[in-house]
Amino acid sequence: MMHYRIEYLVVEGKRLWYNRFGVSSLSVYRRGVITMTTTVIELPARLVNPLQVLADQQQSSIETIVEDLVTEYLRKQRHQQLMEEMLRYQDQHAQLAAQYRGQFVGMLAGRVLDSDLDGGALYARLRQQYGDTPILIVEVSTQPEQEFRRWSSGLCLELS
């Protein structure tokens, strides 16, 4: 079976594409901190040809096409997880409203992780503690249905 290796190197937070490492994972440590990581994704030959055709049509590279596909897939998965969490929030709304009305709560797997009157401060704490894990942050009001807001770097963006 032929495989196409997509490899990238992350050096101090900047990702650079390389196609020369023959390992599935490599990390270089400096004073206890990962400063460089390479990841290899092996694609079966049946995917390489269609990806190359698409890359040629878009005047792009297979790496860019795969990165775009993975990014979109992860975005959809994150959205689905947040929608499921919103349903859990709605199911628990009566109990949550009794305890947290007027506050923002951060929920994961149907459990309140933290709460705060300031949604931005809550976002910052949860982001620091849980990283990229999708966590629902919602203001507990009298109504279980909520407008979606996306918290990012202290900004609140209303989504319709």
Amino acid at 149: R
- Quick one: 155 and 85 in the same domain? yes
Report the distance separating Cα 61 and Cα 74, nearest Å.
20
Report the distance separating Cα 142 and Cα 156, nearest Å.
21
pLDDT at 33: 53
Closest CA to 111 of 127, 126, 92, 130: 92
- Quick one: 152 and 85 in the same domain? yes
Domains identified in the chain, total number: 2
Report the distance separating Cα 40 and Cα 125, nearest Å.
32
Residue 91 lies in a domain: yes
Whether the per-residue pLDDT at 8 is higher than 90: the answer is: no
- Quick one: 30 and 94 in the same domain? no
- Quick one: 41 and 93 in the same domain? no
- Quick one: 89 and 31 in the same domain? no
- Quick one: 14 and 85 in the same domain? no
- Quick one: 152 and 84 in the same domain? yes
111 token code pair = 């459990």
Note the Cα 127 to chain centre separation in Å.
11
Residue 52 lies in a domain: no
Range in 2-11, 33-42, 94-103, 129-138 the model is least confident about: 2-11
For residue 40, what are the domain limits? 3-45
Element spanning 91, H or E: helix 62-91
Q: What is the pLDDT of residues 22-77, one digit of tens each?
A: 334 444 444 555 555 556 677 777 888 888 899 999 999 888 888 888 889 988 99
Closest CA to 4 of 97, 69, 71, 66: 66
